[in-house]
Chains A and B, each alone.
Chain A
Protein backbone atom coordinates (compact mmCIF):
# COMPACT_ATOMS: atom_id res chain seq x y z
CA UNK A 1 0.00 0.00 0.00
CA UNK A 2 1.61 3.21 -1.16
CA UNK A 3 0.69 6.85 -1.04
CA UNK A 4 -1.61 6.53 -4.04
CA UNK A 5 -3.78 3.99 -2.28
CA UNK A 6 -4.18 6.31 0.66
CA UNK A 7 -5.03 9.15 -1.70
CA UNK A 8 -7.63 7.00 -3.45
CA UNK A 9 -9.27 6.13 -0.13
CA UNK A 10 -9.27 9.80 0.89
CA UNK A 11 -10.85 10.84 -2.41
CA UNK A 12 -13.50 8.17 -2.01
CA UNK A 13 -14.34 9.36 1.48
CA UNK A 14 -14.63 12.95 0.34
CA UNK A 15 -16.77 11.94 -2.65
CA UNK A 16 -19.15 9.94 -0.44
CA UNK A 17 -19.35 12.84 2.01
CA UNK A 18 -20.06 15.38 -0.71
CA UNK A 19 -22.48 13.09 -2.49
CA UNK A 20 -24.55 12.56 0.62
CA UNK A 21 -24.64 16.27 1.43
CA UNK A 22 -25.70 17.23 -2.09
CA UNK A 23 -28.22 14.40 -2.13
CA UNK A 24 -29.71 15.71 1.12
CA UNK A 25 -30.03 19.21 -0.26
CA UNK A 26 -31.84 17.84 -3.29
CA UNK A 27 -33.86 15.39 -1.24
CA UNK A 28 -35.38 17.92 1.11
CA UNK A 29 -36.33 20.11 -1.82
CA UNK A 30 -37.75 17.20 -3.82
CA UNK A 31 -39.69 15.97 -0.82
CA UNK A 32 -41.23 19.36 -0.16
CA UNK A 33 -42.11 19.76 -3.81
CA UNK A 34 -43.59 16.27 -4.17
CA UNK A 35 -45.62 16.53 -0.98
CA UNK A 36 -46.79 19.99 -2.02
CA UNK A 37 -47.91 18.63 -5.37
CA UNK A 38 -49.81 15.87 -3.63
CA UNK A 39 -51.56 18.48 -1.48
CA UNK A 40 -52.53 20.94 -4.23
CA UNK A 41 -49.80 23.36 -3.19
CA UNK A 42 -46.78 24.89 -4.91
CA UNK A 43 -44.09 24.23 -2.35
CA UNK A 44 -40.86 26.18 -1.98
CA UNK A 45 -40.21 28.38 -4.97
CA UNK A 46 -38.56 31.58 -3.70
CA UNK A 47 -34.91 30.59 -3.14
CA UNK A 48 -33.05 29.83 -6.32
CA UNK A 49 -34.53 28.34 -9.50
CA UNK A 50 -37.79 26.55 -8.58
CA UNK A 51 -36.80 26.96 -4.93
CA UNK A 52 -33.92 24.50 -5.27
CA UNK A 53 -31.77 26.45 -2.82
CA UNK A 54 -34.44 26.34 -0.11
CA UNK A 55 -32.54 23.67 1.83
CA UNK A 56 -29.37 25.74 1.67
CA UNK A 57 -31.23 28.74 3.05
CA UNK A 58 -32.75 26.62 5.83
CA UNK A 59 -29.36 25.17 6.64
CA UNK A 60 -27.75 28.58 6.84
CA UNK A 61 -30.53 29.77 9.10
CA UNK A 62 -30.01 26.83 11.45
CA UNK A 63 -26.27 27.38 11.39
CA UNK A 64 -26.59 30.90 12.71
CA UNK A 65 -29.27 30.23 15.30
CA UNK A 66 -28.58 30.09 18.97
CA UNK A 67 -27.87 26.62 20.29
CA UNK A 68 -29.86 26.32 23.46
CA UNK A 69 -28.77 23.82 26.07
CA UNK A 70 -31.26 22.86 28.78
CA UNK A 71 -30.09 23.11 32.39
CA UNK A 72 -31.01 19.53 33.16
CA UNK A 73 -29.29 18.06 30.13
CA UNK A 74 -26.54 15.49 30.55
CA UNK A 75 -24.03 17.69 28.84
CA UNK A 76 -21.63 15.09 27.45
CA UNK A 77 -24.26 12.89 25.88
CA UNK A 78 -26.34 15.87 24.86
CA UNK A 79 -23.47 17.27 22.80
CA UNK A 80 -22.39 13.87 21.50
CA UNK A 81 -25.76 12.65 20.23
CA UNK A 82 -25.97 14.85 17.11
CA UNK A 83 -22.51 13.72 16.04
CA UNK A 84 -23.36 10.14 16.87
CA UNK A 85 -26.35 10.26 14.58
CA UNK A 86 -24.28 11.48 11.65
CA UNK A 87 -21.47 8.91 11.83
CA UNK A 88 -23.48 5.77 10.99
CA UNK A 89 -25.38 7.71 8.35
CA UNK A 90 -22.16 8.54 6.52
CA UNK A 91 -20.58 5.14 7.14
CA UNK A 92 -23.42 3.10 5.66
CA UNK A 93 -22.97 4.60 2.23
CA UNK A 94 -19.29 3.64 2.21
CA UNK A 95 -20.17 0.03 1.34
CA UNK A 96 -22.70 0.79 -1.38
CA UNK A 97 -21.34 0.45 -4.92
CA UNK A 98 -22.71 3.17 -7.20
CA UNK A 99 -21.19 1.94 -10.47
CA UNK A 100 -18.77 -0.41 -12.19
CA UNK A 101 -15.08 -0.10 -11.47
CA UNK A 102 -12.59 1.57 -13.80
CA UNK A 103 -8.83 1.32 -14.22
CA UNK A 104 -6.30 4.12 -14.11
CA UNK A 105 -2.53 4.13 -14.08
CA UNK A 106 -1.24 5.92 -11.00
CA UNK A 107 2.36 5.86 -9.84
CA UNK A 108 3.33 3.47 -12.63
CA UNK A 109 0.88 0.76 -11.56
CA UNK A 110 -2.44 0.10 -13.23
CA UNK A 111 -5.06 0.19 -10.52
CA UNK A 112 -8.67 -0.88 -10.60
CA UNK A 113 -10.78 1.60 -8.70
CA UNK A 114 -14.20 0.42 -7.57
CA UNK A 115 -17.04 2.90 -7.29
CA UNK A 116 -17.51 1.89 -3.70
CA UNK A 117 -16.04 3.27 -0.52
CA UNK A 118 -14.81 -0.09 0.57
CA UNK A 119 -15.81 -3.61 -0.43
CA UNK A 120 -16.26 -5.31 2.93
CA UNK A 121 -16.80 -9.05 2.73
CA UNK A 122 -19.40 -8.63 5.47
CA UNK A 123 -20.98 -5.56 3.85
CA UNK A 124 -24.55 -6.55 4.56
CA UNK A 125 -23.84 -7.16 8.24
CA UNK A 126 -22.07 -3.82 8.38
CA UNK A 127 -25.16 -2.10 7.02
CA UNK A 128 -27.39 -3.79 9.59
CA UNK A 129 -24.97 -2.92 12.37
CA UNK A 130 -24.73 0.72 11.38
CA UNK A 131 -28.47 1.18 10.96
CA UNK A 132 -28.88 -0.21 14.48
CA UNK A 133 -26.24 2.14 15.82
CA UNK A 134 -28.14 5.10 14.40
CA UNK A 135 -30.93 4.36 16.86
CA UNK A 136 -28.55 4.83 19.78
CA UNK A 137 -28.07 8.46 18.88
CA UNK A 138 -31.83 8.99 18.95
CA UNK A 139 -32.21 7.23 22.28
CA UNK A 140 -29.28 9.07 23.82
CA UNK A 141 -30.51 12.40 22.52
CA UNK A 142 -33.90 11.71 24.04
CA UNK A 143 -32.53 10.63 27.38
CA UNK A 144 -29.79 13.25 27.77
CA UNK A 145 -32.07 16.20 27.03
CA UNK A 146 -33.41 15.98 30.58
CA UNK A 147 -36.93 16.65 29.43
CA UNK A 148 -40.04 14.52 29.22
CA UNK A 149 -41.02 14.71 25.59
CA UNK A 150 -37.57 13.82 24.25
CA UNK A 151 -37.46 10.92 26.68
CA UNK A 152 -40.78 9.65 25.37
CA UNK A 153 -39.42 9.97 21.85
CA UNK A 154 -36.31 8.05 22.82
CA UNK A 155 -38.34 5.26 24.41
CA UNK A 156 -40.49 5.01 21.34
CA UNK A 157 -37.36 4.87 19.17
CA UNK A 158 -36.01 1.93 21.16
CA UNK A 159 -39.18 -0.10 20.90
CA UNK A 160 -39.65 0.69 17.25
CA UNK A 161 -36.07 -0.10 16.31
CA UNK A 162 -36.11 -3.47 18.07
CA UNK A 163 -39.41 -4.43 16.48
CA UNK A 164 -38.51 -3.55 12.95
CA UNK A 165 -34.85 -4.47 12.92
CA UNK A 166 -35.81 -8.11 13.39
CA UNK A 167 -38.10 -8.03 10.39
CA UNK A 168 -35.52 -6.14 8.38
CA UNK A 169 -32.73 -8.61 9.14
CA UNK A 170 -34.97 -11.58 8.42
CA UNK A 171 -36.05 -10.06 5.13
CA UNK A 172 -32.42 -9.76 4.04
CA UNK A 173 -31.45 -13.37 4.73
CA UNK A 174 -33.06 -14.72 1.53
CA UNK A 175 -30.99 -12.20 -0.43
CA UNK A 176 -27.88 -13.70 1.10
CA UNK A 177 -29.15 -17.20 0.21
CA UNK A 178 -29.62 -16.24 -3.39
CA UNK A 179 -26.33 -14.41 -3.82
CA UNK A 180 -24.37 -16.77 -1.59
CA UNK A 181 -22.35 -13.90 -0.17
CA UNK A 182 -22.53 -10.95 2.22
CA UNK A 183 -20.38 -8.69 0.06
CA UNK A 184 -22.46 -5.94 -1.48
CA UNK A 185 -20.50 -5.79 -4.72
CA UNK A 186 -20.90 -9.54 -5.23
CA UNK A 187 -24.62 -9.32 -4.50
CA UNK A 188 -24.82 -6.68 -7.22
CA UNK A 189 -22.79 -8.85 -9.59
CA UNK A 190 -25.10 -11.79 -8.94
CA UNK A 191 -28.02 -9.72 -10.21
CA UNK A 192 -26.48 -9.02 -13.63
CA UNK A 193 -28.11 -10.35 -16.75
CA UNK A 194 -31.68 -11.26 -17.53
CA UNK A 195 -34.07 -14.18 -17.60
CA UNK A 196 -34.93 -14.87 -21.22
CA UNK A 197 -33.60 -11.48 -22.25
CA UNK A 198 -36.64 -9.61 -20.87
CA UNK A 199 -36.95 -9.88 -17.11
CA UNK A 200 -33.89 -8.48 -15.35
CA UNK A 201 -32.25 -10.92 -12.96
CA UNK A 202 -33.00 -8.68 -10.00
CA UNK A 203 -33.68 -10.05 -6.56
CA UNK A 204 -37.03 -8.32 -6.44
CA UNK A 205 -38.45 -10.84 -8.91
CA UNK A 206 -37.94 -14.02 -6.85
CA UNK A 207 -37.91 -12.20 -3.51
CA UNK A 208 -40.76 -9.74 -3.86
CA UNK A 209 -42.14 -10.53 -0.40
CA UNK A 210 -38.72 -9.87 1.07
CA UNK A 211 -38.58 -6.55 -0.71
CA UNK A 212 -41.95 -5.44 0.63
CA UNK A 213 -41.04 -6.44 4.19
CA UNK A 214 -37.66 -4.78 3.89
CA UNK A 215 -39.13 -1.58 2.50
CA UNK A 216 -41.73 -1.29 5.25
CA UNK A 217 -39.00 -1.96 7.81
CA UNK A 218 -36.67 0.72 6.46
CA UNK A 219 -39.46 3.28 6.56
CA UNK A 220 -39.84 2.44 10.23
CA UNK A 221 -36.08 2.32 10.69
CA UNK A 222 -35.60 5.82 9.29
CA UNK A 223 -38.46 7.11 11.47
CA UNK A 224 -40.45 8.42 8.57
CA UNK A 225 -44.20 8.74 8.17
CA UNK A 226 -46.30 6.74 8.80
CA UNK A 227 -43.88 5.38 11.41
CA UNK A 228 -42.65 8.74 12.70
CA UNK A 229 -43.87 8.25 16.24
CA UNK A 230 -40.41 9.12 17.45
CA UNK A 231 -40.90 12.73 16.42
CA UNK A 232 -44.67 12.94 16.34
CA UNK A 233 -45.30 16.68 16.54
CA UNK A 234 -48.92 16.36 17.56
CA UNK A 235 -48.17 14.07 20.48
CA UNK A 236 -44.70 14.75 21.85
CA UNK A 237 -43.68 18.11 20.30
CA UNK A 238 -40.46 17.37 18.42
CA UNK A 239 -39.79 14.01 20.00
CA UNK A 240 -36.15 13.28 20.64
CA UNK A 241 -34.95 16.57 19.14
CA UNK A 242 -37.32 18.84 21.06
CA UNK A 243 -34.50 20.38 23.08
CA UNK A 244 -32.11 20.72 20.18
CA UNK A 245 -31.75 23.89 18.15
CA UNK A 246 -29.40 25.45 15.67
CA UNK A 247 -26.66 23.35 14.18
CA UNK A 248 -27.27 20.40 16.49
CA UNK A 249 -30.83 20.15 15.26
CA UNK A 250 -29.50 20.45 11.70
CA UNK A 251 -27.36 17.37 12.38
CA UNK A 252 -30.45 15.30 13.21
CA UNK A 253 -32.27 16.69 10.23
CA UNK A 254 -29.34 15.92 7.96
CA UNK A 255 -28.98 12.41 9.34
CA UNK A 256 -32.64 11.67 8.79
CA UNK A 257 -32.43 12.52 5.11
CA UNK A 258 -29.07 10.83 4.63
CA UNK A 259 -30.55 7.70 6.20
CA UNK A 260 -33.47 7.89 3.83
CA UNK A 261 -31.08 8.15 0.89
CA UNK A 262 -28.90 5.35 2.28
CA UNK A 263 -31.77 2.99 2.82
CA UNK A 264 -33.19 3.65 -0.64
CA UNK A 265 -29.74 3.06 -2.13
CA UNK A 266 -29.41 -0.20 -0.20
CA UNK A 267 -32.88 -1.35 -1.24
CA UNK A 268 -32.00 -0.53 -4.85
CA UNK A 269 -28.70 -2.37 -4.52
CA UNK A 270 -30.05 -5.51 -2.88
CA UNK A 271 -33.33 -5.89 -4.70
CA UNK A 272 -33.28 -3.77 -7.86
CA UNK A 273 -29.94 -4.91 -9.21
CA UNK A 274 -27.83 -1.97 -8.02
CA UNK A 275 -26.14 -0.31 -10.95
CA UNK A 276 -27.00 -3.15 -13.32
CA UNK A 277 -28.90 -2.18 -16.44
CA UNK A 278 -28.75 -2.35 -20.21
CA UNK A 279 -25.69 -0.62 -21.67
CA UNK A 280 -26.83 -1.05 -25.29
CA UNK A 281 -23.45 -2.37 -26.38
CA UNK A 282 -21.70 0.87 -25.47
CA UNK A 283 -18.06 0.76 -24.43
CA UNK A 284 -15.64 3.02 -22.64
CA UNK A 285 -16.89 6.07 -20.80
CA UNK A 286 -20.59 5.60 -21.55
CA UNK A 287 -20.55 1.99 -20.42
CA UNK A 288 -19.16 3.28 -17.15
CA UNK A 289 -21.41 6.28 -16.60
CA UNK A 290 -24.70 4.70 -17.64
CA UNK A 291 -24.80 2.26 -14.68
CA UNK A 292 -24.20 5.16 -12.30
CA UNK A 293 -27.22 6.90 -13.78
CA UNK A 294 -29.23 3.68 -13.41
CA UNK A 295 -28.22 3.50 -9.79
CA UNK A 296 -29.45 6.99 -9.05
CA UNK A 297 -32.65 6.51 -11.03
CA UNK A 298 -33.46 3.42 -8.98
CA UNK A 299 -32.56 5.13 -5.73
CA UNK A 300 -34.66 8.19 -6.43
CA UNK A 301 -37.56 6.04 -7.59
CA UNK A 302 -37.53 4.39 -4.16
CA UNK A 303 -37.19 7.78 -2.49
CA UNK A 304 -40.24 8.91 -4.39
CA UNK A 305 -42.13 5.96 -2.91
CA UNK A 306 -40.92 7.11 0.54
CA UNK A 307 -42.45 10.52 -0.11
CA UNK A 308 -45.57 9.05 -1.66
CA UNK A 309 -46.11 6.94 1.44
CA UNK A 310 -45.59 9.97 3.62
CA UNK A 311 -48.14 12.03 1.71
CA UNK A 312 -50.70 9.24 1.73
CA UNK A 313 -50.75 7.40 5.03
CA UNK A 314 -51.60 8.85 8.44
CA UNK A 315 -49.35 8.10 11.38
CA UNK A 316 -49.85 4.70 12.99
CA UNK A 317 -51.03 4.41 16.53
CA UNK A 318 -48.48 2.90 18.87
CA UNK A 319 -50.24 -0.45 19.30
CA UNK A 320 -50.79 -0.63 15.54
CA UNK A 321 -47.09 -0.11 15.03
CA UNK A 322 -46.26 -2.96 17.39
CA UNK A 323 -48.93 -5.17 15.89
CA UNK A 324 -47.68 -4.63 12.36
CA UNK A 325 -44.12 -5.30 13.40
CA UNK A 326 -44.54 -8.36 15.59
CA UNK A 327 -47.73 -9.99 14.34
CA UNK A 328 -47.44 -9.34 10.62
CA UNK A 329 -43.95 -8.56 9.40
CA UNK A 330 -41.83 -10.90 11.54
CA UNK A 331 -44.01 -14.01 10.99
CA UNK A 332 -44.23 -13.19 7.29
CA UNK A 333 -40.47 -12.71 7.09
CA UNK A 334 -39.88 -15.97 8.95
CA UNK A 335 -42.26 -17.93 6.72
CA UNK A 336 -40.69 -16.43 3.63
CA UNK A 337 -37.25 -17.22 4.97
CA UNK A 338 -38.15 -20.90 5.45
CA UNK A 339 -39.75 -21.03 2.01
CA UNK A 340 -36.81 -19.48 0.21
CA UNK A 341 -34.37 -21.63 2.18
CA UNK A 342 -36.31 -24.65 0.98
CA UNK A 343 -36.18 -23.47 -2.65
CA UNK A 344 -32.50 -22.65 -2.53
CA UNK A 345 -31.78 -25.95 -0.80
CA UNK A 346 -33.55 -27.94 -3.49
CA UNK A 347 -31.69 -26.03 -6.14
CA UNK A 348 -28.39 -26.68 -4.45
CA UNK A 349 -28.69 -30.29 -3.28
CA UNK A 350 -31.66 -31.65 -5.20
CA UNK A 351 -34.98 -32.64 -3.75
CA UNK A 352 -34.66 -34.87 -0.69
CA UNK A 353 -37.07 -37.44 -2.12
CA UNK A 354 -35.23 -37.88 -5.39
Chain B
Protein backbone atom coordinates (compact mmCIF):
# COMPACT_ATOMS: atom_id res chain seq x y z
CA UNK B 1 0.00 0.00 0.00
CA UNK B 2 2.86 2.32 0.82
CA UNK B 3 4.23 1.93 -2.69
CA UNK B 4 0.89 2.73 -4.28
CA UNK B 5 0.57 5.82 -2.14
CA UNK B 6 4.04 6.93 -3.22
CA UNK B 7 3.15 6.37 -6.86
CA UNK B 8 -0.04 8.36 -6.43
CA UNK B 9 1.91 11.25 -4.92
CA UNK B 10 4.48 11.20 -7.72
CA UNK B 11 1.92 11.15 -10.48
CA UNK B 12 0.01 13.95 -8.80
CA UNK B 13 3.13 16.13 -8.92
CA UNK B 14 3.55 15.91 -12.68
CA UNK B 15 -0.16 16.45 -13.28
CA UNK B 16 -0.20 19.47 -10.99
CA UNK B 17 2.84 20.96 -12.73
CA UNK B 18 1.16 20.38 -16.10
CA UNK B 19 -1.98 22.16 -14.92
CA UNK B 20 0.07 25.05 -13.61
CA UNK B 21 2.08 25.32 -16.83
CA UNK B 22 -0.98 25.35 -19.06
CA UNK B 23 -3.45 27.36 -17.00
CA UNK B 24 -1.29 29.17 -14.49
CA UNK B 25 2.06 30.84 -14.17
CA UNK B 26 4.12 27.70 -13.88
CA UNK B 27 6.08 28.41 -17.04
CA UNK B 28 9.75 28.89 -16.22
CA UNK B 29 11.20 29.40 -19.69
CA UNK B 30 10.95 32.43 -21.94
CA UNK B 31 10.58 32.37 -25.69
CA UNK B 32 14.10 33.68 -25.96
CA UNK B 33 14.52 35.31 -29.35
CA UNK B 34 11.09 36.86 -29.07
CA UNK B 35 11.33 37.96 -25.47
CA UNK B 36 14.45 38.30 -23.40
CA UNK B 37 14.74 38.19 -19.67
CA UNK B 38 15.94 41.20 -17.67
CA UNK B 39 19.55 40.52 -16.82
CA UNK B 40 20.90 41.09 -13.31
CA UNK B 41 22.22 44.57 -12.75
CA UNK B 42 25.84 43.46 -12.49
CA UNK B 43 25.66 41.05 -15.41
CA UNK B 44 29.06 40.47 -17.00
CA UNK B 45 28.33 40.93 -20.67
CA UNK B 46 30.69 42.20 -23.31
CA UNK B 47 32.83 45.25 -22.78
CA UNK B 48 32.40 48.79 -24.02
CA UNK B 49 34.75 51.76 -24.02
CA UNK B 50 32.92 54.72 -22.55
CA UNK B 51 32.99 58.39 -23.38
CA UNK B 52 32.79 61.47 -21.22
CA UNK B 53 29.69 63.59 -21.42
CA UNK B 54 31.40 65.93 -23.88
CA UNK B 55 32.05 62.99 -26.20
CA UNK B 56 35.74 62.51 -25.38
CA UNK B 57 37.03 58.99 -24.90
CA UNK B 58 37.73 57.96 -21.33
CA UNK B 59 40.53 55.58 -22.25
CA UNK B 60 44.01 57.00 -21.68
CA UNK B 61 45.91 54.04 -23.11
CA UNK B 62 47.60 53.10 -19.81
CA UNK B 63 47.39 49.31 -20.48
CA UNK B 64 46.46 48.53 -16.87
CA UNK B 65 43.51 46.50 -18.13
CA UNK B 66 45.79 44.45 -20.35
CA UNK B 67 48.05 43.84 -17.37
CA UNK B 68 45.18 42.79 -15.13
CA UNK B 69 43.66 40.47 -17.68
CA UNK B 70 44.17 36.84 -16.56
CA UNK B 71 43.39 35.55 -20.03
CA UNK B 72 45.68 38.00 -21.81
CA UNK B 73 42.93 38.85 -24.24
CA UNK B 74 43.33 42.64 -24.22
CA UNK B 75 45.79 44.43 -26.46
CA UNK B 76 46.23 48.17 -26.00
CA UNK B 77 48.55 50.69 -27.61
CA UNK B 78 48.60 54.20 -26.29
CA UNK B 79 49.53 57.27 -28.27
CA UNK B 80 49.97 60.96 -27.57
CA UNK B 81 46.89 63.05 -28.05
CA UNK B 82 47.00 65.29 -31.09
CA UNK B 83 47.35 68.84 -29.80
CA UNK B 84 44.77 70.35 -32.11
CA UNK B 85 42.10 67.64 -31.76
CA UNK B 86 42.54 65.62 -28.55
CA UNK B 87 40.74 62.29 -28.38
CA UNK B 88 40.78 62.03 -24.61
CA UNK B 89 41.35 64.53 -21.82
CA UNK B 90 44.99 64.28 -20.77
CA UNK B 91 48.19 63.44 -22.55
CA UNK B 92 47.56 60.07 -24.08
CA UNK B 93 44.75 57.99 -25.51
CA UNK B 94 44.28 54.38 -26.56
CA UNK B 95 44.65 54.29 -30.30
CA UNK B 96 44.51 50.52 -30.54
CA UNK B 97 42.18 48.62 -28.25
CA UNK B 98 41.47 44.97 -29.10
CA UNK B 99 39.69 42.35 -27.00
CA UNK B 100 39.65 38.75 -28.12
CA UNK B 101 36.18 37.67 -27.09
CA UNK B 102 37.03 34.01 -27.61
CA UNK B 103 39.66 34.27 -24.91
CA UNK B 104 37.86 36.60 -22.54
CA UNK B 105 36.53 34.89 -19.42
CA UNK B 106 34.33 37.87 -18.48
CA UNK B 107 35.84 38.16 -15.02
CA UNK B 108 35.68 41.95 -14.97
CA UNK B 109 39.23 42.48 -13.65
CA UNK B 110 39.88 44.96 -16.47
CA UNK B 111 36.94 47.01 -15.23
CA UNK B 112 38.37 47.06 -11.74
CA UNK B 113 41.83 47.92 -13.00
CA UNK B 114 40.76 50.85 -15.15
CA UNK B 115 41.66 54.16 -13.45
CA UNK B 116 39.30 56.21 -15.61
CA UNK B 117 36.30 53.86 -15.79
CA UNK B 118 36.80 53.73 -19.51
CA UNK B 119 36.09 50.03 -19.85
CA UNK B 120 32.89 48.62 -18.41
CA UNK B 121 30.73 45.63 -19.07
CA UNK B 122 27.29 45.66 -20.65
CA UNK B 123 24.28 43.40 -20.68
CA UNK B 124 25.05 42.40 -24.26
CA UNK B 125 25.80 38.72 -24.59
CA UNK B 126 24.89 37.74 -28.15
CA UNK B 127 28.32 37.69 -29.78
CA UNK B 128 28.10 34.91 -32.32
CA UNK B 129 30.50 35.25 -35.22
CA UNK B 130 31.03 33.27 -38.40
CA UNK B 131 34.76 33.89 -38.50
CA UNK B 132 37.28 33.59 -35.69
CA UNK B 133 38.80 36.90 -36.69
CA UNK B 134 35.47 38.63 -36.12
CA UNK B 135 35.64 37.60 -32.46
CA UNK B 136 38.48 40.07 -31.93
CA UNK B 137 36.63 43.24 -31.06
CA UNK B 138 38.45 46.42 -31.97
CA UNK B 139 37.80 50.00 -30.98
CA UNK B 140 35.23 50.11 -33.75
CA UNK B 141 32.99 47.66 -31.94
CA UNK B 142 33.93 48.53 -28.37
CA UNK B 143 33.68 52.31 -28.34
CA UNK B 144 30.23 53.67 -27.53
CA UNK B 145 28.50 56.11 -29.85
CA UNK B 146 28.70 59.80 -28.94
CA UNK B 147 25.21 59.43 -27.41
CA UNK B 148 26.47 56.69 -25.11
CA UNK B 149 24.82 53.66 -26.70
CA UNK B 150 27.18 50.76 -27.38
CA UNK B 151 27.90 49.71 -30.88
CA UNK B 152 26.25 46.44 -31.68
CA UNK B 153 26.97 44.17 -34.57
CA UNK B 154 23.53 44.76 -35.97
CA UNK B 155 21.77 47.94 -36.81
CA UNK B 156 19.82 48.80 -33.75
CA UNK B 157 16.41 49.02 -35.38
CA UNK B 158 16.70 45.70 -37.17
CA UNK B 159 17.97 43.59 -34.34
CA UNK B 160 15.21 42.06 -32.24
CA UNK B 161 17.74 40.70 -29.78
CA UNK B 162 18.85 44.00 -28.34
CA UNK B 163 16.92 45.59 -25.58
CA UNK B 164 17.61 49.32 -25.89
CA UNK B 165 16.78 50.05 -22.28
CA UNK B 166 19.42 47.54 -21.27
CA UNK B 167 21.97 49.17 -23.51
CA UNK B 168 21.49 52.40 -21.61
CA UNK B 169 22.80 50.53 -18.56
CA UNK B 170 26.05 49.97 -20.39
CA UNK B 171 28.28 51.88 -18.06
CA UNK B 172 28.23 51.98 -14.33
CA UNK B 173 27.36 48.36 -13.81
CA UNK B 174 29.62 47.69 -10.94
CA UNK B 175 29.53 50.73 -8.76
CA UNK B 176 30.60 49.03 -5.56
CA UNK B 177 33.82 47.80 -7.11
CA UNK B 178 34.50 50.95 -9.11
CA UNK B 179 37.95 52.44 -8.50
CA UNK B 180 36.94 54.63 -5.62
CA UNK B 181 34.27 52.36 -4.27
CA UNK B 182 34.18 49.21 -2.22
CA UNK B 183 31.77 46.37 -1.71
CA UNK B 184 30.05 47.91 1.28
CA UNK B 185 29.98 51.29 -0.36
CA UNK B 186 28.06 54.02 1.43
CA UNK B 187 28.20 57.52 0.16
CA UNK B 188 28.98 59.28 -3.03
CA UNK B 189 29.61 56.85 -5.87
CA UNK B 190 33.03 57.31 -7.30
CA UNK B 191 31.82 57.28 -10.80
CA UNK B 192 32.63 59.78 -13.47
CA UNK B 193 29.90 61.16 -15.64
CA UNK B 194 29.70 59.71 -19.06
CA UNK B 195 27.77 60.11 -22.22
CA UNK B 196 24.41 58.46 -22.41
CA UNK B 197 23.40 57.93 -18.86
CA UNK B 198 25.60 59.98 -16.60
CA UNK B 199 25.42 59.06 -12.97
CA UNK B 200 23.04 56.45 -11.70
CA UNK B 201 21.47 56.32 -8.25
CA UNK B 202 23.25 54.15 -5.70
CA UNK B 203 22.28 50.53 -5.50
CA UNK B 204 19.60 49.35 -3.14
CA UNK B 205 20.70 49.39 0.44
CA UNK B 206 23.15 52.24 0.00
CA UNK B 207 22.26 55.46 1.67
CA UNK B 208 24.63 57.75 -0.18
CA UNK B 209 23.33 60.76 -2.04
CA UNK B 210 24.30 61.68 -5.51
CA UNK B 211 26.07 64.98 -6.05
CA UNK B 212 23.96 67.69 -7.63
CA UNK B 213 23.69 67.35 -11.36
CA UNK B 214 25.44 70.71 -11.90
CA UNK B 215 28.47 69.34 -10.08
CA UNK B 216 30.28 69.25 -13.39
CA UNK B 217 32.87 66.87 -14.62
CA UNK B 218 34.78 65.11 -11.92
CA UNK B 219 37.90 64.27 -13.83
Contacts and interface: CB of A to CB of B under 8 A. Distances in A.
B1 interface: no
A41 B10 contact: no
B22 A37 contact: yes
A311 interface: yes
A313 B6 CA distance: 11
B18 A38 contact: yes
B2 to A, nearest CB: 15
Interface in A273-300: none
B29 A40 contact: yes
B11 A312 contact: yes
A312 B31 contact: no
Interface in A16-63: 34, 36-42, 45
Given A308-B11, A312-B13, A42 B18 contact: no
Nearest to B20: A40
Contact of B27 (A34, A42, A308, A312): A42
Interface string B19-37: 0111000111101000000
A42 B10 contact: no
A12 B26 CA distance: 45
A107 to B, nearest CB: 52
A313 B13 CA distance: 11
Contacts of B127: none
B23 to A, nearest CB: 10
B14 A40 contact: no
A145 to B, nearest CB: 34
Nearest to A314: B10
B143 to A, nearest CB: 36
Interface residues of A, number: 13
Contact of A40 (B10, B11, B15, B21): B21
A17 to B, nearest CB: 33
A204 to B, nearest CB: 18
A165 B48 CA distance: 65
B96 interface: no
Contacts of B21: 36-38, 40-41
B16 to A, nearest CB: 9
A42 B26 CA distance: 10
B13 A42 contact: no
A39 B17 contact: yes
A9 to B, nearest CB: 42
A6 B100 CA distance: 71
A38 B12 CA distance: 11
A308 B14 contact: yes
Given A37-B22, A40-B21, A45-B31, 19 more contacts: A34-B18, A36-B21, A37-B18, A38-B15, A38-B18, A39-B17, A40-B17, A40-B20, A40-B26, A40-B28, A40-B29, A41-B21, A41-B27, A308-B11, A308-B14, A308-B15, A312-B10, A312-B14, A313-B10
27 contacts: A34-B18, A36-B21, A37-B17, A37-B18, A37-B22, A38-B14, A38-B15, A38-B17, A38-B18, A38-B21, A39-B17, A40-B17, A40-B20, A40-B21, A40-B26, A40-B27, A40-B28, A40-B29, A41-B28, A42-B27, A42-B29, A42-B31, A45-B31, A308-B14, A311-B14, A312-B11, A312-B14
